Structure 1
Amino acid sequence: MKKKNITIKDVAKKAGVGVGTVSRVINNSPHVNPRTKEHVLKIIQEMGYMPNPHARRLSSGHTKIITTIFPQMVGEFHQLLLSGIDEVFEKEGYTSFVYPLYSENRYKFVRESSDFVLGTDGVIIDALNVDKLLKQYIPKNVPVVSVEFDSQKYDSVILDNFYGGMIAGDYLSNFEGDLFIVTHDRKTKLESTVFEERVSGFIESIERKGRKVAKIFKIDLDWLEAIKVAKAVFSISKKPLIFATTDYFAFPVIEFARIKGLEPKEDFFLCGFDNLTLSSILNITTIKQPIKKMGKTAGEMLLRKIKGYSRKRQTVAFKPELIERNT
């Protein structure tokens, strides 16, 4: 039976060899001393170590697999981002392995083990502090691209979220009413600061106009929590001006208002962030970011690195824009 949290590093340490040696033993490489191989296999059996399912393909060179790590997969955003990434790699015959970090155990596995990259040609990491998350766990020969976090070590694809928040602030400050923010509450320091940047930009914008935020609601990416926030906002303000730092929070607000018979631009104003498909259907004003294009750009950057293209670390930054609709 497989023992929990046993990694290739644990095996290497107990066997007194390097991680590369254990990897070669796993992949039945001929470039391992027979006595060493026998010793490592014995340790693997004793510890009950089970290697990554696709790690065995290492010895053949490129595995034609890339790994994409998300903090979680909620709603349309990650689907659009992944579709942009896949558009690049599917043409090259690659398969994308998606690893969402829903739980602390998943975070721990990525932080403490290099196993998850042993059978991959490259890694794309979204909305996480990749510099702290990976540290020494990514081998130098494995290309990495960071999305939604401006890495100091790896190529990055980002949006100017601070500016996006300022655009939202400029828009909502045009109207009379009480200003509210509904935003995501980070659960770990490893998550990127995109939501904080949006909030900071919004606050700076409204303060320049002599306005203040009545209240900031910080919640999980959860529809029911957003409904509760909408109920609270409409109970304390006769005319709220609401900035939702993601459309995922704007949707429950507009739904709650509809149920209560409240009319946008008469009883309230709302600005979301992302420009997801449903925001267009529901006619919600939002801040657009080119999600699929960001994914495609990240894929192209990673593919170039996989093919051996070498240059200095690069950051590609996209600009957000206001899409004014009926809220």
Structure 2
Amino acid sequence: MGTVKGQNKKRRVTIKDVALYANVGVGTVSRVLNNSPHVTLETKQKVLAAIRELGYTPNPYARYLSVGTSNLVTVIIPEMKGDFYQMLLSGIDEVLVKHGYSSILYPLYNNRRYEALKKSSELLLSTDGIIVDAVSVDGVLKDLLNHNTPTVCVEQESEMFDSVMVDNYYGGVIVGDYFADLEMEIFVVTHRKSHELESTVFDERLEGFQASLEKKGRNIDKIYYVPLDWESAFEVARRIFSRHKRCAIFTTTDYLAVPIIEVARTVGLNVGKDVRVCGFDDLPIAQVLGITTIKQPIHEMGKIAAEMLIKRIKGKAKDKVAKVILKPELVIRET
């Protein structure tokens, strides 16, 4: 039998530990636990011996999921802030429900949850498929995912699995083309990736914006990096408008545009004339507040991801990894 090197006796033994110890796949361990007839007697005895020696206690919930098909899909997202994820999940669930599936949501918003997932990955191994938004599958989750488990990536590219994304760089280019003709100072309020669990979409949008401006002989006068919270955005807005009464501001998400607009109006500036603001995403709040923005088809992206996953689960997809890239568009409103 194999060995589980560095096994911490205080740590809960997982199905992956049993598979490693018995030199078999996780699926084989699952079949043994569920008394499947599709396992040889020799393999079954080897797995049962590993279970005894390691003291493995099956997770009742994971064991329930691993009986044949669970009709469940795990959806991993980096956080739960804002309307973006609600829109994305509504698209995913619309398709899943139509095919008789339900989703289990796992927000991976800090290292503690990431470490917990690494220690006990039944949630990934026992459902019928996985949809991962923004978190790098080829990097961060590479060692946690089984290549045989149907998986689709959203907002990111993958060499191993199907993916669907919006061309964020091109979205930035559109804003740059729009701002280049404005006779104003140009600022950017954005979020900088601070750890590996965060998305790179904000950087891609900024890169496209900067490239477009430079091509037209313009430059960004200043970039403000803030956490994804309104308090920080409010503080930056106050700093900007204490010095500048005429400027154009690109926020790489609508979420950060709201405080900018609120502060501008509070200090008596005319948003849409003295101050021009363009966000990104076209969230419901952008529609309500009349924010000029880059619209990305969030709901559609969720639907496409779910449809790709269902095809993989049912064995109807081609062996070659599929990539779908959606184009964003500029929506000009009051700001």
Aligned pairs, how many?
323
Over 3 Å counting, the alpha-carbon distance change for 1:92 and 1:18 in structure 2 is closer
Query: What residue in structure 2 maps to residue 42 of structure 1?
Result: 52
Over 3 Å counting, the alpha-carbon distance change for 1:39 and 1:144 in structure 2 is same
Query: What residue in structure 2 maps to residue 233 of structure 1?
Result: 240
SS at match of 2:141: helix
The structure 1 residue matched to 2:321, chosen from 310, 313, 317, is 313
* % identical equivalent positions: 49
- The runs of 5 or more residues in structure 1 that have no matched partner are none
Give distance in 1, aligned partners of 2:63 and 2:249.
48
SS at match of 1:118: helix
Give distance in 2, aligned partners of 1:37 and 1:7.
13
Scaled by the length of structure 2, what TM-score is found?
A: 0.88
- The runs of 5 or more residues in structure 2 that have no matched partner are 1-8
RMSD value over aligned CA atoms?
Answer: 2.3
Query: What residue in structure 1 maps to residue 202 of structure 2?
Result: 195
User: Are the equivalent residues in 1 in contact too, given 2:136–2:156 (CA < 8 A)?
Assistant: yes
Over 3 Å counting, the alpha-carbon distance change for 1:115 and 1:32 in structure 2 is farther
SS at match of 1:137: coil
User: Are the equivalent residues in 1 in contact too, given 2:265–2:271 (CA < 8 A)?
Assistant: no
The structure 2 residue matched to 1:276, chosen from 255, 278, 283, is 283
Over 3 Å counting, the alpha-carbon distance change for 1:188 and 1:20 in structure 2 is same
The structure 2 residue matched to 1:118, chosen from 95, 113, 125, is 125
Give distance in 1, aligned partners of 2:206 and 2:47.
55
Q: Does 1:57 align with 2:51?
A: no
SS at match of 1:73: coil
Alignment of 1:55-204 (within 5 A): 55-59=63-67, 61-111=68-118, 114-204=121-211
CA drift of 1:19 comes to 3.5
Scaled by the length of structure 1, what TM-score is found?
A: 0.90
The structure 2 residue matched to 1:264, chosen from 268, 271, 276, is 271
Q: Deviations over 1:216-258 (max 9, x none)?
A: 1222211111111211221232212110000011111112223
Give distance in 2, aligned partners of 1:52 and 1:237.
61
SS at match of 1:132: coil
User: Are the equivalent residues in 2 in contact too, given 1:233–1:240 (CA < 8 A)?
Assistant: no
Q: Does 1:304 align with 2:323?
A: no
Query: What residue in structure 2 maps to residue 325 of structure 1?
Result: 333
